[in-house]
Amino acid sequence: MPVLQAHNISQVFDNGEVLFQQLSCSMSRNRVGLVGRNGIGKSIFAAILSGEQQPSSGTVTYPLSCAVYRQQPAHLLSGGLSIAQFLGKNDVLKALKQIESGDCSAHWLDVIGEQWDLSMRLTRQLREMGLPADPDFPCAQLSGGQLARLQLWQLFASDVELLILDEPSNHLDAHAKQWLIESIRVFEGAILLISHERLLLREMDEIWQLSGQGLHVFGGNYDVYVEHMRTEQQAVERQLVSVDKQKKKLAAQAQRNREKAAQRAAKGDKLRKAGGQPKILLDYKKDSATARTSNLHKNEQLRQAHLNEKEQALRARKEQVKRQKLYLSDNTSRLHQVVSLLEGVLSFGCRQPITLQIYANDKIHLTGKNGCGKSTLLKTLLGKFTLQQGKLHLNTSLYYLDQHFGAVQPELSMLNNLIQQCEGIKESDARTLLAGIGFRRDSVFRLGSMLSGGEKMKLAMLIVSHQPEQPMLLLDEPDNHLDLDSKIMLAQALRDYRGGFILVSHDDDFASESGIQRQVTL
């Protein structure tokens, strides 16, 4: 029996824009991964499947019970909830404190029940989870990774029939990701996972791909899905070559038909002028030839229309399955030392002195557990924080890119972002560069605030690549909110980047594909 089913669901916004239409699915596997490019509607689709949102049309058969994980919930970030209150343990802990203070009323005993060891057990569990051991610690003061782990811990402890996890691995370090994988494996209910994390998608039994062409289901995990997409891309390209050959063959045949018709018409005119045959016979032959030519022309038009329609459908599918590429500048860097950190102690995080020497084309993966000071180190290099002790020497320009690609100014168009942030670049050259990453004609006037995460990434990397001096890139989890295609594209761009960078990322696949040369662990 499927955990959930959806039939012909569509989502249309108030302005008439169609997000998706007539999607149908049946979740019969216990572990399903939902993938698709940013902005395609995965989170809204999941909200409809969970019952949190009603579709514009269509029907959904919901599970008996369902819980949803989403990043950075407002009620935890802005509210005054403690860890104990969020976990629903505050009343028992309060009762235990009352008993310890000498108040042994029956009410407190009833509240405690059999949970006399809760305080000690909860403290131990919090330490094991990498969370503050104090149950009264405010949730709003937790780091992004700690907050994610707290929410996920509560959800995996529930007995719901279906868990929908929307990007659960963002902000999690390597240790926390392994805990997440183990939790997914042992959870008894079904899981619908929305993720761009290949490590997690490899744990799935089935992959659903949401695209502009609908919802496609692939049996097997992520690796099976990738192989299927590669095979499909090759098949689509072969079909496009075949269609092109058929169009050329049709055009050649049409040309031969026109030449034969012209020859017959010339022959008929010659006979008419010679007067050797009756006029009525010549008129009959002319009418027959005209009718035959008209029929041939109609057939040619029908075949041409069919081939054009087939080509359009194949190109649309190719756009969905192809791997995009981001081409950057070919500037080169000199092999000289650009960052020297000697016995430096950070303002936050790691308290051990750090000694680090970085050269102009070094590609470094900066790793460590949540809260160890990775972002603090990058911001110290930028000058936003100062060292508590030690020496820092910089001999390079720096360019900082985070998961929100803040280098893209929201009030400027794509064209003006490039012109204003790349000294000396001409408008014609800027347009050519933007066309190279898929933005042509009027699309270059789209404001930075209107761009998706992947589009901001492409524009930001274009800006970085065309600085007068090749800067050292400081990349603070730039892959966090990117879809799979954009992640792969950014990794390839970083691999091809002639300068150096320091990358903070919890995705080992992404880091490896980015051309990492060495790892530094805090």
Burial of 270 (0-12, 13-18, 19+ CB in 10 A): exposed
Whether residue 10 is predicted with pLDDT greater than 70 in this model: the reply is yes
Whether residue 209 is predicted with pLDDT greater than 70 in this model: the reply is yes
Q: Which residues contact 44 (CB under 8 A, 6 or more apart)?
A: 11, 19, 53
Q: Sign of torsion, CA 126 131 133 139?
A: negative
The model's pLDDT over 266-277, given as tens digits with 9 standing for 90+, comes to 776 666 666 666
Whether residue 408 is predicted with pLDDT greater than 80 in this model: the reply is yes
Pairwise CA distance, residues 158 & 144, whole Å: 22
The model's pLDDT over 450-492, given as tens digits with 9 standing for 90+, comes to 877 777 877 887 887 777 677 888 888 888 777 777 788 788 8
DSSP class of residue 471?
Answer: P
Q: What is the pLDDT of residue 298?
A: 79
Q: Mean pLDDT across the chain, nearest whole number?
A: 81
Q: What is the pLDDT of residue 333?
A: 44
Q: How confident is the model at residue 193 (pLDDT cuts 50, 70, 90)?
A: very high
Pairwise CA distance, residues 196 & 13, whole Å: 26
Q: What is the pLDDT of residue 334?
A: 47
In the chain, where are the structural domains located? 4-81+139-220, 82-137, 228-321, 337-521
Q: What is the pLDDT of residue 102?
A: 76
Q: Do the first three CATH levels of 4-81+139-220 and 337-521 match, i.e. the same topology?
A: yes
Pairwise CA distance, residues 287 & 283, whole Å: 6
Most confident stretch, 105-109, 295-299, 338-342, 504-508: 504-508
Domain at 4-81+139-220, CATH from 3.80.30.20, 3.40.50.300, 3.30.2310.20, 3.40.50.2300: 3.40.50.300
Q: Which two tokens stand for residue 255?
A: 């040309």
* Poorest-pLDDT segment among 84-93, 320-329, 465-474, 503-512: 320-329
The pTM of this model reads 0.60
Q: Going edge to edge, which strands form the sheet with 337-345? A: 354-359, 337-345, 389-394
Tokens 């192989």, residue?
Answer: 227
Q: What is the pLDDT of residue 32?
A: 93
DSSP class of residue 293?
Answer: H
Whether residue 323 is predicted with pLDDT greater than 60 in this model: the reply is no
Q: How confident is the model at residue 164 (pLDDT cuts 50, 70, 90)?
A: very high
* Poorest-pLDDT segment among 13-27, 47-61, 449-463: 449-463
User: Domain spanning 337-521: which superfamily?
Assistant: P-loop containing nucleotide triphosphate hydrolases (3.40.50.300)
Q: How confident is the model at residue 286 (pLDDT cuts 50, 70, 90)?
A: low
Task: Go through 61-80 and write b for each residue having 16 or more CB atoms within 10 A of its CB, e for each that does not.
Answer: eebeebbbbbeeeeebeeee
Q: Which residue has the higher pLDDT, 463 or 75?
A: 463
3-class DSSP state for residue 511? helix
Q: Which of 485, 478, 461 is nearest to 365 (CA)?
A: 478
Whether residue 445 is predicted with pLDDT greater than 60 in this model: the reply is yes
What is the average pLDDT across 100-106? Answer: 76
Whether residue 139 is predicted with pLDDT greater than 70 in this model: the reply is yes
* Poorest-pLDDT segment among 155-159, 182-186, 371-375: 371-375
Whether residue 313 is predicted with pLDDT greater than 90 in this model: the reply is no
